[in-house]
Amino acid sequence: MGIINVQTVQAGLVDVLPSLAYIETNDPLATVLVAGYLNHVVQNGTSFQLPCIAAVSTKETPTSAARIGWFAISHSGANWSLVSASSPAAGVVTLPTILNHIAIYSDTSGTLAEDAATAINGGNIQAGLSGTAGYLASFPATAASGSLRLTAVANTGNTLVTISNALHGQASVYSIPDSGAATANFIMSASAGTQAITSGGLQVSAGNLTAGASGAAGTLISFPATAANGSLIVSALNAGGAFNTTVRNSVMGQSSVISIPDPGAATANFLLDTGASNILAQQQFVGLSNVLTFGTGTWTVTRVAQGNYVSRHTAGDETSIIAVDITPIIRVAASKGWRLDSFDYIYSIATLAMDAHTLTLDRIAYANNVAVSVTSIPVTATLATATQANPYLTNCTVTTPAFDVTADSKYVIEITANNALTTDFDYYGIMLRFSQTVA
């Protein structure tokens, strides 16, 4: 393949510029455009009068039809070359057959055609222009089966709306579900207004459903079928730290509907089977009748005033052990039943300070033909010994409160009252502060 014939002199056109040349080749277009393509014909004696325009025939293959194009003759250094002229190069134009179809290049020779499998634009594609509407339409392979359109509507200002993908780790296909209505809206991740699903339901098949975000409150609201009949709101409050609260079911043996009863008040709490607020924090006064023994000395039940009774120790330099019986409600199950958290010890000291004043708490457990078990329960308490005009109320804290789950057990408080010779000591009783479960 190569240059077959070159004609550079035309009768009647001598000294007419630009000069004309005719070059017959059987090379493809890409070859004739290589720099220095004409070097060998110049070396063989062909002379071009510059500026010169050449009509050149090319063939993409030996058996293909010849294509004609106009080229300029270029001389740069040692190279004589063909350069595409400003008009279309050796391509052909296929006349359109369908009205309004877009023309594309079907090869690199400038051949125009229509309805290519893929039409490409290296920059942007615009449908319409400012003040003139336009849309992008995509049709499926099946005839008369609708189309997908991307259409712009007027904004309140000259603002742009861009649809773009986030960074993906895989190829993805996103389908627009059937809304079942003539108009519908997408649910957006950020919206100034309230977004609504007006029919059907929302299902999250995998992952979580979150209302709000850290630092931005959100609630889940459920409405009944009857209008103006309130709603059920699931709302999170500050937990005092980065603590999550999960509400979940246990293993069930049947389908269940668990109803929240009417508390009859604006605010109320659930009763739980464990935790600091698991129950009702309750109090119970353990009076003189629960004293097993007052120990050494003379003790007399004395009416101090109307409704105010004490067990009074007759003054004497002696040490008495007051044993107080506490019989809790036992439930043999972890974190259930009755838990002593603390107790208030009420007493009075007059005339002369006591020599010493302490107490202990023990759990007593019984079993058949087994020695009685006595377990010390640590208590934090500082009892007074000095005199004062009115009774003392000293709170004694159980160091590690725990539910009593020991069968056949009870508690006993022992108070050691070491009185001086003329100490006037009165015992009023003990107010128990405990938690009790209902589950």
**Residue 308 near residue 348, CB atoms below 8 Å:** no
**Residue 288 near residue 311, CB atoms below 8 Å:** yes
- In the structure, what pLDDT confidence band is assigned to residue 279 with cuts at 50, 70 and 90? low
Query: What is the pLDDT averaged over residues 150-163?
Result: 93
Q: Which residues lie across from 135 on neighbouring strands?
A: 151
Query: What is the pLDDT averaged over residues 117-128?
Result: 90
First-residue to last-residue Cα distance in the chain: 100
Query: Looking only at Cα atoms, what is the longest distance across the chain?
Result: 156
Tokens coding 153: 């509507």
pLDDT in tens, 290-337: 999 999 999 999 999 999 999 999 999 999 999 999 988 887 777 778
Closest listed residue to residue 421, CA positions, set 351, 359, 322, 358: 351
For the cut 90, the answer to whether the pLDDT of residue 283 exceeds it is yes
For the cut 90, the answer to whether the pLDDT of residue 345 exceeds it is yes
Least confident range from 2-16, 19-33, 45-59: namely 2-16
pLDDT in tens, 374-391: 999 999 999 999 999 999
Q: What average pLDDT does the structure give for the chain?
A: 89
- In the structure, what pLDDT confidence band is assigned to residue 439 with cuts at 50, 70 and 90? low
What does the pLDDT read at residue 41? 92
For the cut 50, the answer to whether the pLDDT of residue 214 exceeds it is yes
Burial degree of 389 (CB within 10 A; 0-12, 13-18, 19+): exposed
Closest listed residue to residue 8, CA positions, set 71, 53, 60: 53
Number of alpha carbons in the 13 Å side-chain half-sphere of residue 102: 10
**What are the residue ranges of helices labelled H in 127-228?**
none
DSSP state of 289: G
Query: What is the pLDDT averaged over residues 66-76?
Result: 92
Q: How far apart are CA 244 and CA 214, in angstroms?
A: 11
Closest listed residue to residue 135, CA positions, set 147, 145, 144: 147
DSSP state of 403: B
What single-letter amino acid sits at 292?
L
Q: How many residues does the chain have?
A: 439
For the cut 60, the answer to whether the pLDDT of residue 87 exceeds it is no
Q: ∠ CA(318), CA(321), CA(323), 5° rounding?
A: 155
Tokens coding 107: 């090869």
**Residue 380 near residue 325, CB atoms below 8 Å:** no
> The pTM is what?
0.46
- In the structure, what pLDDT confidence band is assigned to residue 91 with cuts at 50, 70 and 90? very low
Q: Tell me the pairing of strands 308-313 and 299-305.
A: antiparallel
For the cut 70, the answer to whether the pLDDT of residue 109 exceeds it is no
Closest listed residue to residue 427, CA positions, set 315, 265, 300: 300
What does the pLDDT read at residue 277? 56
Q: How far apart are CA 423 and CA 349, in angstroms?
A: 7
What single-letter amino acid sits at 50?
L
Kindly report the backbone phi and psi dihedral angles of residue 183, in degrees, each rounded to the nearest multiple of 5, phi listed first: -135, 150
Query: What is the pLDDT averaged over residues 251-271?
Result: 88
Q: How far apart are CA 341 and CA 400, in angstroms?
A: 8
What does the pLDDT read at residue 90? 44
From-to residues of CATH 2.60.120.260 in the chain: 280-436
Task: State what percent of residues in the chain have pLDDT above 70.
Answer: 93
Task: State what percent of residues in the chain have pLDDT above 90.
Answer: 61
Number of alpha carbons in the 13 Å side-chain half-sphere of residue 173: 2
Rg (CA), the chain: 51
What does the pLDDT read at residue 86? 55
Pairwise pLDDT comparison (413 vs 279), residue with the higher score: 413
Regarding the domain with residue range 280-436, which homologous superfamily does it belong to in the CATH classification? Galactose-binding domain-like (2.60.120.260)
